[in-house]
Amino acid sequence: MPISRIYTAASASRRKRALSYSKGESVSGISFDYGKFTFDYSINFQGLKIGFEDKNGMYHYKRDIIGWKHESNIASQTGTFYLQPIEPLNLPDNVTDFIEIEFTEITIEPNSTTVVFLTMPIEIGVFLESKNGERSLLDIVTFCHPKFSLYGAASRGVITRFHKSQVYAMPPSVENYREGLLRLEIENDSSEWATIGRVVIYQKGLTLYYDETTVSACAKMIVRTRDVADVVGIDQPIREEMTESIPVFESRRTTPFCNIDGALLDSTFTMDMGMR
């Protein structure tokens, strides 16, 4: 997988005001450290080993996660790198631009709004940073085994990165190196009761934020009829002082992943093949 994309440090996106959910703890009591580090910092965490070795002015990057290895030579004057959570759509390759989360069904009354929390898979990006602040994606790792599904049918459907979740009224504790939290606002704009058991999100609308214990994203689902809903990502952290992750999204030809004419408009995806 080619990983030579360049990103600027400054974000050009507009974010909504942070929400005010309290901080949680990791399920296991162990959290992964995201952030900015120098090349003399090494990682040995839950089977993941990352390190930079100085070889006469040239740095040698080595990564090993339970036998899955990657090495690279780096010429850098800054000697700094970032570890940040990224969208779970890059491994084992660019298979899809869509995430599908199946969850315990909930039934929502007509013309009402509710908020739930779901878990979602994440990947971890290793970024290099230059003197002028440009960042380059060096490597991607994951502690999850990717699963894929098909929303719809082979003749008219969407390939998705698939994940199962429970439904929570408040942010649950998760392992921040395996999973993030999705705050999903569901608005039933129809005149009927609606039962919902899955959501499909387009990658472009997904903005991740993180702090020392949690990775999060926000999205909104607007139910139009019993079987149709629009889903869009919301650029908003779930609490103050969370850091926005570097977006890894790049424009891709969506034809191999989505053959539903009109279902995708910018970052809004229309689920018109059921929500259960």
Note whether 191 and 131 are within 8 A (CB).
no
pLDDT tens for 43-101 read: 999 999 999 998 887 899 999 998 889 999 999 888 899 999 999 988 888 888 899 99
- The answer to whether 236 touches 244, Cβ cutoff 8 Å, is no
DSSP secondary structure of 56-82: TTEEEEEEEETTEEEEEEE--SS-EEE
Per-residue pLDDT averaged across 245-256, rounded? 65
pTM for the whole thing? 0.86
Q: Residues 89-109: pLDDT tens digits?
A: 888 888 888 999 999 999 999
pLDDT band, very low/low/confident/very high, at 9 (cuts 50, 70, 90): very low
Q: Please return the burial class of 262, using the count of CB atoms within 10 Å of its CB with bins 0-12, 13-18 and 19+.
A: exposed
Reported as type and span, the H/E element at residue 58 is: strand 58-65
